[in-house]
Amino acid sequence: MGMELNEGNDSGRLVARRTVDAGLAGRAGLAALGPWLAQAGLPFILILYLGLRSGGYDVIVRSEVGVAAWWIVLLGTVVGALPLAQLPRRAWIALGVFSAFALWTGLGIGWSESAERSVAELGRVATLGGVFALALAAQGPDGMRRMVAGVGAGVAAVAGIALLSRLQPSSFPALEAPEFVPESRARLHYPLNYWNGLAAFVAIGLPLLLALTTAARHAPARALAAAAIPVLALTAYYTLSRGGAAAAVVALLVLVALHPRRLALVALGLPSAAGSAILIAAASQRDPLADGLLNASAARQGDEMLAMTLVVCVGVGLLTAALALAERHGLGPRLELRRRGAGAAAVAVAAIALVVGLAAGLPGAGGDAWREFKEPAVPTAEAGRFSSAGGSGRYQFWEAAVDAGRSEPLTGIGPGTYEFFWAREGTLPTSIRDAHSLYLETFAELGIIGLALVLAVVASPFLLGARRRNALDPERRATRGHDPQVRAPLECCARQSGRGVEHVLAVVEDQQR
């Protein structure tokens, strides 16, 4: 009997111990999942929601998002979930610059001809500020990598929905834009309901996904990021947006120029580039589908393009995964380009491009393109518009914005009131709300002070990011790791943690961000 009781007690203790261990493991899993939800889940959900709600263009939608963002920031700070007070100095500098711009926008209500429009514009700025503050507050160790993944995944999801609306239009509600702009049926605009906005949105996601092909820690994640790039490229093509195409090219060039592993980035991006080229070439040969028609021929071509897109994306993903695994296991040459070598190569390429441009007569061609841009004629809504320099009235919109700013150079005419100035002084028989230029419209509505503030808002991430990049430069990290004054404490920490010196150095630098 005593032995049976002892065996029962031992079994009970074992079950209890296993239960406690399972509970601790579950709690640890939730604790590990929390940063992913905050740093990757929130951006993904926010981008997907706004993308499906016309990009948040409606004042009610964006106001709801702004209120939610600020409440999350405030409650998270109070309960300690978002350590807003522990943000580094550079984050506070960026928030301070944005707050100054918001304050100046609010003051502009006092001299605006429409307080209603100005209050709505202040609400837009406040929403952007709330999202910006939430993004900064949610940062932590490895937070930037997760946030880039969340934003990139959100852009890819919206772009995928947009592409499906062109390839399988019967599965989506009636598109809104062609009802009042019938000549623009060829230009993909769903779900943002603005083709240029959709193209610019895609241009934001392309460099993020390309960066993930080298930054993601696991080969499947790299493969998914690479496989999504052809989808974004094809979506951008169907928008027929020249500005969006230019923005995408510039964004990718800047990424390559600033990336610490440029050659590896280019090598891992080659499958995505090839897949994108294949899909765009195939799309350009299917005119009914490219023109946005809804007949049987376009439906058949949509099925063909959908199958081709799936095959290309799967192939790109598998090839990228193979390259990532080969790199991880040290197969093949390690592609590196030192900073000095990169600078010399950039200078050489720029010099060659300058000589070739001069020999090809680009200055004269540029003058002709500028004169064509100033003409208000609208280019055709076909793929041929990519070779056109027509401005679709942009020059006239910008000219009116400059005139509005000159009328009140210090303060501007008031936030959100450019539409009224154009209605009185515009030189084209068309109604517009925005000047199609953030900087010129800001100068028109908020004057020189507002323009200086918005330039500071845009420039601050670049300047602060450049400092961070220098701090994380591989050459500088290697130098620090071999410095005797730094190496000794690192080796001590490495022995205690059972990790390598370079791992400890990376953790220390990650915490210092």
Q: What is the 3-state secondary structure (H, E, C) of 45-99?
A: HHHHHHHHCHHHCCHHHHHHHHHHHHHHHHHHHHHCCCCHHHCCHHHHHHHHHHH
What number is the average pLDDT over the span 494-513?
A: 45
- Rounded Cα distance, 135 and 263, in Å: 30
* Count of beta carbons in the 10 Å neighbourhood of residue 143: 18
Higher-pLDDT residue of 423 and 28 is: 423
35 contacts 28 by C-beta, under 8 angstroms = no
Confidence of residue 478 (pLDDT cuts 50, 70, 90): very low
Pull the structure tokens for residue 472: 């994380």
- Inform me whether the pLDDT recorded for 183 exceeds 70: no
* Count of beta carbons in the 10 Å neighbourhood of residue 60: 9
pLDDT of residue 101: 97
pLDDT of residue 136: 87
For residue 61, with 0-12 CB atoms within 10 Å meaning exposed, 13-18 middle and 19 or more buried, which class applies?
A: middle
Which residues, other chains included, contact 476 with Cβ-Cβ below 8 Å and sequence gap of 6+? 470
108 contacts 406 by C-beta, under 8 angstroms = no
Q: What end-to-end distance do the CA atoms of the chain give, in Å? A: 64
* pLDDT tens-digit series, residues 319-331: 999 988 887 777 7
Min mean pLDDT across 146-155, 449-458, 459-468 is at: 459-468
- Rounded Cα distance, 90 and 463, in Å: 10
pLDDT of residue 494: 44
- Which range has highest mean pLDDT (239-248, 369-378, 387-396, 467-476)? 239-248
Q: What is the pTM of this model?
A: 0.81
- Inform me whether the pLDDT recorded for 213 exceeds 80: yes
- Inform me whether the pLDDT recorded for 300 exceeds 80: yes
Confidence of residue 456 (pLDDT cuts 50, 70, 90): very high
Mean pLDDT score across all residues of the chain? 81
From 310, 178, 328, select the one nearest 231 (Cα to Cα): 310
- Inform me whether the pLDDT recorded for 22 exceeds 80: no
